[in-house]
Amino acid sequence: MSLLAGKIGIVFGVANKRSIAWAIAQAWHEAGAMLAFTYQGERLRENVEELASTFGADTLILPCDVTRDEEIERVFAVAGEKFGKLHLLLHSVAFAPRAALEGRFLDTSREAFRVAHDVSAYSLVALSRHAVPWMTEGGSIVAMTYYGAKKVVPHYNVMGVAKAALEASTRYLAYDLGPQKIRVNCISAGPVNTLAARGISGFGEMLKHYEAHAPLKRNVLPDELGATGAFLASDGAAAITGQVLYVDCGYQIMGM
């Protein structure tokens, strides 16, 4: 399959081989895209280098804390210089202080609210703004979201509010960028056992709950998120923008 042959992409959010970003990057790579990767801080550099090098020894890998404008600028300057253009951007990054993902939403501190929104929602706007000048042939921007943006999921708290901001940002970006043939969409994934997910109190229960209540009676697999990511990046999705696509074994349609 070479659905994405000739496409160049940049992936934010690989922490390890369980990361959703890695599942989507693999699918993009298998579909023929050439990819660059970023990582946050030295702690993750080795992991990302090890994974990314399986795509070729010269794969571009750059540090980027998405709360730092100068790091974002550098990533796109270096990637732009290397490739000359860009077609795909994956935003698979989120963070909220652990204390904000336990107990009551009511107790969310100003600082936890700010950090969660900066890392998990504003970063999509900042990354898109820097990517767009290189997307001269059109493009596809994909961000990862969760159902807690729409409905109350106990303990998801401020992250649900940040995901609501991310989904709304997707729509406004889709409107701004449509004339340049740049599409912006979210994948709303059912729960997947990753590093970030383990920070949510009661995550194990969430997996069991989905298995019991989703129409497909199981949890989503990382490969399936990869396949949806490849679809959204491809011309098959050429008329899809500003959407939130649920890849959750149907859980989202249930009333009880």
Give me the active site residues, please. Answer: 146, 156
- Is the CB of 136 or the CB of 201 nearer to ligand NAP? 201
Note the residues at the interface with ligand NAP (CB under 6 A). 13-15, 19-21, 40-41, 44, 64-67, 92-95, 119, 144-146, 189, 191-192, 194-197
For residues 169 and 149, the answer to whether their CB atoms sit within 8 Å is: no
Q: How far is the CB of 29 from ligand NAP (least distance, A)?
A: 17
- Is the CB of 134 or the CB of 147 nearer to ligand NAP? 147
- Is the CB of 44 or the CB of 85 nearer to ligand NAP? 44
Q: How far is the CB of 214 from ligand NAP (least distance, A)?
A: 13
Q: List, in sequence order, the alpha helices (H) in 84-202.
A: 110-117, 123-131, 157-177, 195-198
What six digits make up the tokens of 150?
């729409």
- Dist. CA 14–CA 168, nearest whole Å: 24
- Is the CB of 14 or the CB of 52 nearer to ligand NAP? 14
Contacts of 108-115 with C-beta under 8 Å, sequence gap 24+, read 108/157, 108/158, 112/158, 113/158, 113/161, 115/67
Residue indicated by tokens 């540090």: 63
- Dist. CA 190–CA 125, nearest whole Å: 24
CA atoms within 13 A on the CB side of 202: 12
Q: How far is the CB of 3 from ligand NAP (least distance, A)?
A: 22
Q: How far is the CB of 6 from ligand NAP (least distance, A)?
A: 27
182-189 vs 34-39, strand pairing mode? unpaired
